[in-house]
Amino acid sequence: MTPKPLVIITPFNESQIQPVIYCAKENGMQIRVRSGGHDLEGLSYTSEEPFVILDLVNLREINVDVDKKTVWIQAGARLGELYYRIAEKSRTLGFPAGVCPTVGAGGHISGGGYGVLLRKYGLAADNVIDARIIDVNGRILDRKSMGEDLFWAIRGGGGTSFGVVLAWKLQLVDVPEKVTVFTIARTVEQNATNIVHRWQYIAHKLDEDLAVRVYIRRVNSSQDGKRTIQVSFQSLFLGSVDRLLPLMQRSFPELGLQREDCTEMSWIESTLYIYELPVEPLDVLLNRTQANIQYLKVKADYVQKPISKNGLEGIWKRFFEEEAEEALLVFVPYGGRMDEISESAIPFPHRAGNLYQIDYYVYWDEEEASERYLNWIRRLYSYMAPYVTKFPRAAYVNYRDLDIGVNNKGNTSYAQASIWGLKYFKNNFNKLVNVKTKVDPSNFFRNEQSIPPLYSRWTKNGK
């Protein structure tokens, strides 16, 4: 990969993008589209071929219509800005998108996009009702003019394979004036293994107003000089403490939730709480500056049968290795609305039958240590193989992982792309290929994990 684009273009309006496409096609250059810059393999700002960055940072308009419960949001706006603008207009409307407020709307929603409301309302992409995109011919298309096949493809299939997503029209969702949050931490010495084991059997069956996520990390022990594994159970409940407590006592008494563990707050405050920020001031959500993370590798998995206690203890063992100092596992419960939506409703296929999603993170500071930390997360991922989905071992396109396969440089073959494509999209991959073949047969919009057209080779001028 080369980190050096030939030029970075930051358009101030949508019409300024069309000449960029014409020029790049004429001169045989790739376009990398960046909305928030959160592509976890850097594909929105690096390439192995000559390229330009189309940075949508200035396209960040957000128009909320409270009466119709909709919002138009340009691709360069961040999720925190979206949440803030919704809350400016209403205390009882929200949107089911991601936890990190600096993630860009363009890429997040085009890959599916999930957050703590997914058990109630599904993915961000499940709640898209219109869009605007610039295609390979420079045409600005909305849902009607692009057609239902392309509209289907960009809602979870990764928008950059098909054009430049300009904006989304979203269906807002109802939230109560007060929600309830809690975070309870338990170490392995405090029975964390048994509680996580039990969580696997009930988290996907809980009331859809309740999501209880699991965070696993290594921490200092209460014993001097010792380390231990801490499991944090973090929750958002769309209701009052009075309604939550009996529900938890009935469904998950092992956690031992007490009234003093719970806090009632507005939904907009909860977006900060879930991201582990102070709930005031709210305008922190307007901060577009990302946290300064030197190096990061992320992977994802899906679990359909509970992991045994021995299996969980094997995870703990690997978290005592040196490279796990800044590592994190997150278990994201499914069920609820996610069980009700068809695998083929949008390209994101991971629906009924999945108990939860696992997100793996490892962070480090020095470039020379990269191989060591990458090897650690790959060893953990390999260890998890018996406990997760198989044939294919499913993955999540927004947690892009080049370890699972990449396209051939310069010419994307169907066979090569299907190695990673079936993991992200399962049976939806073939439909994505068919859509790509119709809208971008010359494969102008491409990267190391872009959807390929059938039987095509890109050439200068797209001919």
Helix ranges, 289-346 (H): 309-319, 337-340
The answer to whether the beta carbons of residues 186 and 195 sit under 8 Å apart is: yes
Which tokens sit at 231? 């499991």
The answer to whether the beta carbons of residues 334 and 118 sit under 8 Å apart is: yes
> What is the Cα–Cα distance from 350 to 340, expressed in whole angstroms?
11
Query: Which residues are annotated as catalytic?
Result: 399
Pick from 331, 335, 370: which is nearest to 354 by CA?
335
> What is the Cα–Cα distance from 256 to 275, expressed in whole angstroms?
23
CA–centroid distance for 295 within its chain: 18
Which tokens sit at 455? 């039987």
* Gyration radius from the chain CA atoms: 22
Q: Is there a cis peptide before residue 392, judged by omega within 30 degrees of 0?
A: yes
Determine what percent of the chain falls in helix, strand and coil, rounding each to the nearest 5.
35, 25, 40
Kindly tell me the sign of the dihedral angle through the C-alpha atoms of 328, 329, 333, 337.
Answer: positive
The answer to whether the beta carbons of residues 255 and 248 sit under 8 Å apart is: yes
